[in-house]
Structure 1
Amino acid sequence: MHTSTPQSCATVRTFAQRLSSTRRGARLARLLAVERLTAWDMSPAVIERAEHVVAELASNAALHGRVQGRDFLLTLTLDDAAGPLRIAVSDTRGEYRPAIPPERGPDHESGRGLLLVDTLADRWGTEPRPPSGKTVWAEIDQHGERLEAVSGQ
């Protein structure tokens, strides 16, 4: 008699959407990400962190990575086998690489977005996207609870 060992079937879930490189497109990216992560039954703490990360990366793509007539791409990838949630935003301006700016004074109205990404994501970085673009990605561990960074708890 031959018996087989049950094997868990790990699923990799992916969501990808092209969006206009506008403020409206950035807002839609955030809303779509929250909807998708809720449908994937992610924890509220991960969804909250991801919402802020998507908002910042999509806003940067629409503001700094914009090329007239070209969209940006939002991709969410989740490996159910305890892999991290990967958020990737690709735009067509490969010459502009994001970096955390030097210390900003209280009067500066912008320039803190990547500080938020750095605080909320477990890892983040950039990679080229040939022929002329870039992808900025961030990973959030499914079981890493860093909600205090968002809500101040």
Structure 2
Amino acid sequence: MSVATAPRACATQMPQTVPALRKRPRLQAEHLEAMGVPRRKEAVSEARRTVRRLLLRWGVGEEEAFRAELFTAELLTNAYCHSRADGRETEIGLCIAEGGGAVLIEVEDPGGAGRPTARRQAEDDAEHGRGLDLVETMGRWGWRTLPDGHLSTWAYVRPAPQEATR
């Protein structure tokens, strides 16, 4: 995958693949950024900080930017740890879209043997397995298989409710 193919992660709605069964939220994007993230562990933290700075520059609220930053780290880490790395795939695609204060983060990778799943019952002493549960409690997430076999995993941050003015 290259930076040139990263925007596919923000392509128009495609059918969900079982067991995800969640349609990716439709977002009237006011801002859109796509990039390739190198398949290096340290690149995840750099991408996370980049997403936060980008969202704050776009005027996204602190809370939404914080959640999007966490979601970005989780999705990229999962892609880094669980996707195939056959030597040709040197980057993971990352797309960030914002509209009306809502944020959609989408990560595209070559896929792997399994599909993303929230564990719900991670062992108390487990070091892994809680990330998508955390995303689930703070937003929504899902995945789909792209026509080329790549995996697209998304997370959605709802905008904070606006306080009524008197």
Instruction: Normalising by structure 1, report the TM-score.
Output: 0.78
Distance 1:102 1:45, change over 3 A: closer
Highest RCO, 1 vs 2 (Cα 8 Å, sep ≥ 6): 2
What amino acid does structure 1 have at the position aligned with 2:110? T
Q: Which residue of 2 aligns with 1:140?
A: 157
Q: Distance in 1 between matches of 2:39 and 2:84?
A: 6
Aligned Cα root-mean-square deviation (Å): 2.0
Q: Which residue of 1 aligns with 2:37?
A: 19
Provide the secondary structure at the position in 2 that maps to 1:18: strand
Measured after TM superposition, the shift of residue 124 of structure 1 is 1.2
Aligned residues: 133
Extract unaligned runs of 5+ from structure 1.
Answer: 1-9, 146-153
Give the alignment partner of residue 92 of structure 2, picking from 58, 67, 72: 72
What amino acid does structure 2 have at the position aligned with 1:137? W
Give the alignment partner of residue 62 of structure 1, picking from 80, 101, 109: 80
Provide the secondary structure at the position in 2 that maps to 1:27: helix
Moved over 2 A (4+): none
Q: Which residue of 1 aligns with 2:18?
A: none
- Residue-by-residue CA offset, 1:71-126 (whole Å, 9 max, x unaligned): 111100112xx3621110111115431001251221211111111111121x2100
Greater Cα radius of gyration, structure 1 or 2: 1
Q: Distance in 2 between matches of 1:99 and 1:20?
A: 24
Instruction: Normalising by structure 2, report the TM-score.
Output: 0.73
Provide the secondary structure at the position in 2 that maps to 1:58: helix
Does 39-48 or 83-92 show the bigger shift?
A: 83-92
Alignment of 1:114-129 (within 5 A): 114-121=132-139, 123-129=140-146
> What percent identity do the matched residue pairs reach?
29
Q: Which residue of 2 aligns with 1:4?
A: none
What amino acid does structure 1 have at the position aligned with 2:114? Y
What amino acid does structure 1 have at the position aligned with 2:59? D
What amino acid does structure 1 have at the position aligned with 2:61? S
Q: Which residue of 1 aligns with 2:46?
A: 28
Q: Distance in 1 between matches of 2:138 and 2:33?
A: 21
Extract unaligned runs of 5+ from structure 2.
Answer: 1-27
Measured after TM superposition, the shift of residue 68 of structure 1 is 3.8
Residue pair 1:84, 1:140 contacting (<8 A) in 2 also: yes
